[in-house]
């Protein structure tokens, strides 16, 4: 039977999305076999349930939308009115059990309490939690109560009602609290619910999470878009009606406010836009025009000539009716709301004792080291002893977006190279939040270290004819400058390649940092995070046609990398035949390489030549190489050439959905890693994390 958790609320709009995102992020560190289920969803099938859509898409859960719910609310209400409540329960249980069979953990999400009959919603949630056998996480909100007592009383009543109904409540969380009341509220919650077994938490309100986008405003009001169609993802923190003379209204403009004014007030429209462009006033979110008037031709001509104009929307209703409607808008988190998703996870991790909560779902079955568990473990290791990583490609937006994530999570300290003014402008334009104490920006052409690096370059490369003129021209190149920083101990590692070739990244490292003692070859591995295990593939990126000696060195380096990252090395030297059955130059080369590995590292578990299926499938391995310690259990797979390795890792990645982390370079004295020019922000983050851990291992 799968482990489970039933998330339910005391009333509507309590922030279930935040909690569900946090819980699933936590559980997915343990297992990939996770499901979500809602017994009842709103609507009648015309539109997908927002919360189900968010969780399925964001976490890429392996279930269909139809498997994710029991009934639409309208159908459920009809069954209840027809006296068929038992039929309703039976069908919900049946669908839940079908999903449970496929999962190690199922997160159930209760009703929304959006209808007038809240009592019915409460009773149904109690019945569902009890009949599905799910422990309960109870969620409340505090943002529309005036006193601590008003907040805590309904929470206590709801908690006791679940307990009296023989439901196990494992956690009670109050969301959307005023930060000033958070501590007092938590103490009050502990007094009301003294059981130590219950995880209690108070999460403060967050302006970004509670603020709708202009697209949500447009949808709710059925508004027309006059200008700024491409900027509807802007959030509005406040609504502001412009009904007075300009000198009285302008002081009331606040950050990201939505200005509401009749459509025939061209003076207000132009003045507000000019204030938006002024450094002396905050940026607005947009303008909403009422009373079905739109700007007349002279005003429209001005607006048409403004580049990057903020969104201007139009509705037919008058200003009073519009304000009444707009106050009822609730903001949702969608799969595209990257910033809201990130903030939700951070708030949950910060204000909820996730370690204790994790114990409450400790019956989750471990299925080896899952990709999420592996990535989580890597991040925790990198954070344990922070290193400084240099990123030479500061002109690439992906690098800056990855840098924001790395700094926000306090994983590493960063040095970013490039034109400093240009980088700062890009950071501002993208709206990125960077902490100055963690981030160093350097322009190699103007940096204080440039002369020092040039002199050091001459010292290291004078046998190749290097002089100061050559050195100065060379070290201002971002790849060389970054490599010199690593060599001189000003950075612990470098990650490059998003905008440069592999050769551009590796050549400076080979010339200056050089390989480790007794290592003649720089090679690479990918960590292949499959649904139930981690495999190490080498070499899939650097060496096209290694000979037997080189193949053996790749295997030994890959085993050392594997061990350094917590994967026990069981090495499979891959070929087109297994054991002694095959003959030919290619298989003989693999056989010779295997013997070299055994001679140099007799304690390593290595098998070769061996076919891929015999290496990873227990049943096939037993048949083809009986008695082998590696066959069927291999964790490190060494491919005979780059063509085979590169195609195989990409095929496995595409066909299985595996996360491929790499390439990770091995053999250098200090860590330098190469990115693909098609890399994603996530790829960059993962590679920086790996590089930081490599730097930790060298320091040890």
Residue 72 three-state SS: strand
Do residues 341 and 263 lie in contact, with contact meaning Cβ atoms separated by under 8 Å?
no
Task: Calculate what percentage of the chain has a pLDDT beyond 70.
Answer: 94
β-pair partners for 525: 538, 664
Query: What are the pLDDT digits (tens) for 637-670?
Result: 999 999 999 999 989 888 887 888 888 999 889 9
Strand order in the sheet with 570-574: 605-610, 570-574, 636-638, 533-538, 523-530, 659-666
| Angle (CA) 74 79 84, round 5° | 165
| 442-478 confidence digits (pLDDT tens) | 998 888 888 888 888 888 887 877 788 888 888 888 9
Say if residues 15 and 209 touch (Cβ distance below 8 Å). Answer: yes
Beta-carbon contacts of residue 592 (< 8 Å; ≥ 6 apart): 548
Average pLDDT (527-543) is 85
pLDDT tier at 1, thresholds 50, 70, 90: very low
In the chain, CATH 3.40.1390.20 covers: 212-326
Q: Which residues of 204-233 are buried (b: 16+ CB within 10 A; e: fewer)?
A: bbbeebbbbbbbbbbeebebebbbbeebbe
Kindly tell me if the per-residue pLDDT of 366 is higher than 50.
Answer: no
Residues of the chain with CATH 3.40.50.300: 3-205+345-360
Helix axes 450-461, 468-475, angle to 10 degrees: 120
Query: Is 2 a residue whose pLDDT tops 60?
Result: no
Q: Do residues 635 and 570 touch, judged by C-beta distance below 8 A?
A: yes
Give CATH 3.40.50.10950 domain extents, the chain.
374-513
> Which of 380 and 691 is assigned the larger pLDDT?
691
pLDDT at 107 over 80: yes
So what's the pLDDT on residue 234? 87
Q: State how far the Cα of 268 lies from the Cα of 242, in Å rounded to an integer.
A: 7
- Which regions of the chain carry the CATH code 3.40.50.10750? 523-667
Q: 289-333: per-residue pLDDT in tens? A: 999 888 888 888 999 888 889 999 999 999 889 888 887 787 888
* Mean pLDDT on 630-638: 92
pLDDT of residue 371: 67
Of all residues in the chain, what percent are helix, strand and coil, respectively (each to 5)?
A: 45, 20, 35
Q: If pLDDT is split at 50, 70 and 90, which confidence band does 492 have?
A: very high
- The hierarchical CATH code for the domain 3-205+345-360 is 3.40.50.300
Run of H or E including 663: strand 659-666
* Element (DSSP H or E) covering residue 484: helix 478-487
pTM for this entry: 0.62
Residue 71 has φ and ψ, to the nearest 5°, of -140, 155
Q: How far apart are CA 436 and CA 634, in angstroms?
A: 45
Confidence class for position 334, pLDDT limits 50, 70, 90:
confident
Query: Is residue 408 very low, low, confident or very high in pLDDT (cuts 50, 70, 90)?
Result: confident
Q: Is the CATH code 3.30.830.10 the one for domain 212-326?
A: no
Average pLDDT of the chain? 87
Evaluate if residue 367 carries a pLDDT over 50: no
CA distance 507 to 634: 33
CATH no. for 374-513: 3.40.50.10950
**pLDDT per residue over 58-80, tens digit each?**
999 989 999 999 988 888 888 88
Query: Which tokens sit at 464?
Result: 């190749």
pLDDT of residue 689: 94
Q: What is d(CA 545, CA 359) in angstroms, rounded to the nearest whole number?
A: 49
> What Å distances lie between residue 587 and 266, 541, 581, 669, CA to CA?
80, 21, 10, 32
The C-alpha atoms of residue 126 and residue 566 are separated, in whole angstroms, by: 43
CATH architecture for residues 523-667: 3-Layer(aba) Sandwich (3.40)
CB neighbourhood size of 641 (10 A):
16
Q: Is 51 helix (H, G, I), strand (E, B) or coil?
A: helix
Supply the DSSP string of 329-350, one letter for each residue.
------TT-HHHHHHHHHHHHH
d(CA 495, CA 398): 13
Rounded Cα distance, 682 and 338, in Å: 12
What's residue 494's pLDDT? Answer: 94
pLDDT given for residue 364 in this prediction: 39
Q: Counting Cβ atoms within 10 Å, is residue 119 exposed (0-12), middle (13-18) or buried (19+)?
A: exposed
Q: CA 117, 137, 84: angle at the middle one, nearest 5? A: 40
Structure tokens at 78: 């009809």
- Residue 253, CA distances (Å) to 187, 246, 306, 325 in order: 38, 11, 20, 21
User: What are the tens digits of pLDDT across the range 566-590?
Assistant: 888 999 999 988 877 767 788 889 9
Burial class of 393 by CB neighbour count within 10 A (0 to 12, 13 to 18, 19+): buried
pLDDT number for residue 43 = 64
Contact criterion met (CB below 8 Å) for 647 and 640: no
- 402 and 688 Cβ atoms separated by less than 8 Å: yes
């Amino acid at each position: 039977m799968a482990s489970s958790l039933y998330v339910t609320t005391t009333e509507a709009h309590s922030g279930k999305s935040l909690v569900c995102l946090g819980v699933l992020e936590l559980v997915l560190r343990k297992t990939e076999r996770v499901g979500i289920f809602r017994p009842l969803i709103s609507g009648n099938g015309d539109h997908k349930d927002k919360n189900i859509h968010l969780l399925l898409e964001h976490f890429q859960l392996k279930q269909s939308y139809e498997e994710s719910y029991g009934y639409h609310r309208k159908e459920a209400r009809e069954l209840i009115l027809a006296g068929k409540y038992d039929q309703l329960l039976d069908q919900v249980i049946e669908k839940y059990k079908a999903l449970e069979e496929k999962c190690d953990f199922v997160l159930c999400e209760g009703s929304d309490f959006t209808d007038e009959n809240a009592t019915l919603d409460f009773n149904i949630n109690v019945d569902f939690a009890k009949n599905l056998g799910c422990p309960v996480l109870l969620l409340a909100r505090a943002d529309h109560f005036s006193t601590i007592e008003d907040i805590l009383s309904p929470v206590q009543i709801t908690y006791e009602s679940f307990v009296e109904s023989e439901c196990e409540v494992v956690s009670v969380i109050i969301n959307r609290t005023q930060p000033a009341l958070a501590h007092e509220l938590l103490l009050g919650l502990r007094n009301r619910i003294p059981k130590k077994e219950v995880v209690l938490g108070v999460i403060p309100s967050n302006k970004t999470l509670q603020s709708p986008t202009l697209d949500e405003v447009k949808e709710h009001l059925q508004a027309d878009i006059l200008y700024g169609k491409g900027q509807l993802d802007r959030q509005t923190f406040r609504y502001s009606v412009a009904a007075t003379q300009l000198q009285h209204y302008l002081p009331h403009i606040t950050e990201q406010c939505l200005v509401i004014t009749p459509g025939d007030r061209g003076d207000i429209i132009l003045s507000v836009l000019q204030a938006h462009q002024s450094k002396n006033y905050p940026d607005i979110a947009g303008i909403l025009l009422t009373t079905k008037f739109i700007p007349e031709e002279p005003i429209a001509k001005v607006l048409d000539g403004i580049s990057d104009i903020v969104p201007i929307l139009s509705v037919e209703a008058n200003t009073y009716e519009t304000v009444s409607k707009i106050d009822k808008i609730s903001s949702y988190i969608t799969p595209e709301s990257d910033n809201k998703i990130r903030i939700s996870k951070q708030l949950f991790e910060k204000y909820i004792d996730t370690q204790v909560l994790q114990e409450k779902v400790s019956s989750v079955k471990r299925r080896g080291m899952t990709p999420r568990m592996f990535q989580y473990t890597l991040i925790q290791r990198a954070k344990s002893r922070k290193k400084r990583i240099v990123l030479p490609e500061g002109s690439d937006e992906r690098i800056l977006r990855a840098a924001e994530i790395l700094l926000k999570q306090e994983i590493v300290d960063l040095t970013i190279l490039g034109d400093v003014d240009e980088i700062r402008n890009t950071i501002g334009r993208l709206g990125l939040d960077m902490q100055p104490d963690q981030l160093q920006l350097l322009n190699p052409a103007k940096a204080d270290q440039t002369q020092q690096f040039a002199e050091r370059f001459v010292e290291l490369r004078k046998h190749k004819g290097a002089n100061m003129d050559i050195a100065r021209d060379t070290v201002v190149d971002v790849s060389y400058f970054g490599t010199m920083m690593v060599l001189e101990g000003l950075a612990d590692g470098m990650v490059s390649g998003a905008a440069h070739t592999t050769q551009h990244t590796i050549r400076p490292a080979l010339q200056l940092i050089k390989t480790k003692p007794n290592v003649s070859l720089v090679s690479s591995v990918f960590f292949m995070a499959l649904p139930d295990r981690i495999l190490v593939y080498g070499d899939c990126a650097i060496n096209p046609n290694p000979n037997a000696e080189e193949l053996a060195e790749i295997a030994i380096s890959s085993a050392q990398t594997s061990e350094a990252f917590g994967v026990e090395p069981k090495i499979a030297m891959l070929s087109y035949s297994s054991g002694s059955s095959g003959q030919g130059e290619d298989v003989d080369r693999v056989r010779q390489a295997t013997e070299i590995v055994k001679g140099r590292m007799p304690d390593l578990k290595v098998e070769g030549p061996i076919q891929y299926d015999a290496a990873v499938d227990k049943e096939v391995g037993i048949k083809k190489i009986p008695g082998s310690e590696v066959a069927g259990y291999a964790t490190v797979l060494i491919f005979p050439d780059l063509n085979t390795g590169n195609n195989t890792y990409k095929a496995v990645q595409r066909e299985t959905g595996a996360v491929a982390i790499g390439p990770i370079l091995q053999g250098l004295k200090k860590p330098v890693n190469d990115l693909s020019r098609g890399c994603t922000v996530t790829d960059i983050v993962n590679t920086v994390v790996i590089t930081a851990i490599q730097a930790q291992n060298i320091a040890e």
